Amino acid sequence: MGAKPTVTDARVRQKIREVLNMAPGYGKTETMLLEFVNELTGGGVEIEQLRAGIEWNHGQDYVRRHVNEDTDEVEWFITKHGIAKETLK
């Protein structure tokens, strides 16, 4: 049994912003974010670590949430502050 690669919390937080910044006007659900973040990091990110990264970014005003009225799902969007943070890399 091979161990999954370890992805740091800081890397998860950054990859969340990177994914959302790919299409700034379009929201992503947790499921979508988890899939894309794992794709970018080579895997190993669990839902709990992703949620912690989302909440950290939300607390910094880098992302915002919106409930899609058609699907009743929470979608996450990058904010102007998040875009600026990504631009400074």
Average pLDDT of the residues in 64-75: 96
Domain ranges of the chain: 9-87
Please state which architecture CATH assigns to domain 9-87. Answer: Orthogonal Bundle (1.10)
* pLDDT one-digit tens code per residue, 37-53: 999 999 999 999 999 99
What SS3 state is found at 78? strand
Calculate the average pLDDT of the chain.
93
Residue 44 DSSP label = -
Both structure tokens of 28? 């992503």
Higher per-residue pLDDT: 76 or 6 = 76
- Per-residue pLDDT at 34 exceeds 60: yes
